[in-house]
């Protein structure tokens, strides 16, 4: 089997703690369990990367609004946000781990994620 390595895939996950990063990619999808729309942002610097899913749900909107505001994109009630506007924006983030129970298996899973988005 031949496996092609795309740009950026050779990088390791970012270490926990403060990181200055650039948003280099946005992927869109729906959650496997409930079909909730999300976008996944790839936060990257020379040391590595971390991806983070932002769910378009009542609970997830505060994180989405915070990300756009910290990226310097004006957020107003009634406006539509375009995730592609985030590509190339530089931010300071905190990288850390979050654990949760997988709804399908009941097993605990741990994810490395971005949090606390700050203007860099």
Q: Judge: domain 17-119, CATH 3.40.720.
A: no
What six digits make up the tokens of 120? 């860099």
Please check whether residue 82 is in contact with residue 39, taking contact to mean a CB–CB distance below 8 angstroms: no
Please check whether residue 13 is in contact with residue 93, taking contact to mean a CB–CB distance below 8 angstroms: no
Domain boundaries, the chain: 17-119
Distance between CA 98 and CA 90 in Å, rounded? 23
Distance between CA 92 and CA 70 in Å, rounded? 9
Does this model's pTM top 0.95? My answer is no
pLDDT digits (tens, 9 = 90+) for 36-63: 999 999 999 999 999 999 999 998 898 9
What six digits make up the tokens of 39? 């976008």
């Amino acid at each position: 089997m031949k496996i092609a390595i795309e740009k950026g895939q050779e990088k390791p996950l970012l270490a926990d703690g403060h990181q200055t990063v650039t948003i280099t990619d946005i992927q869109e999808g729906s959650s496997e369990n409930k079909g909730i729309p999300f976008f996944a942002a790839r936060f990257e610097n020379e040391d590595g990367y971390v991806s983070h899913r932002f769910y378009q749900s009542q609970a997830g909107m505060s994180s989405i609004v915070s990300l756009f505001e910290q990226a310097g994109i004006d957020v107003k009630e009634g406006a539509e946000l375009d995730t592609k506007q985030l590509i190339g924006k530089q931010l300071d983030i905190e990288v850390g781990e979050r654990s949760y129970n997988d709804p399908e298996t009941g097993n605990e899973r741990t994810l490395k994620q971005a949090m606390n988005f700050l203007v860099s």
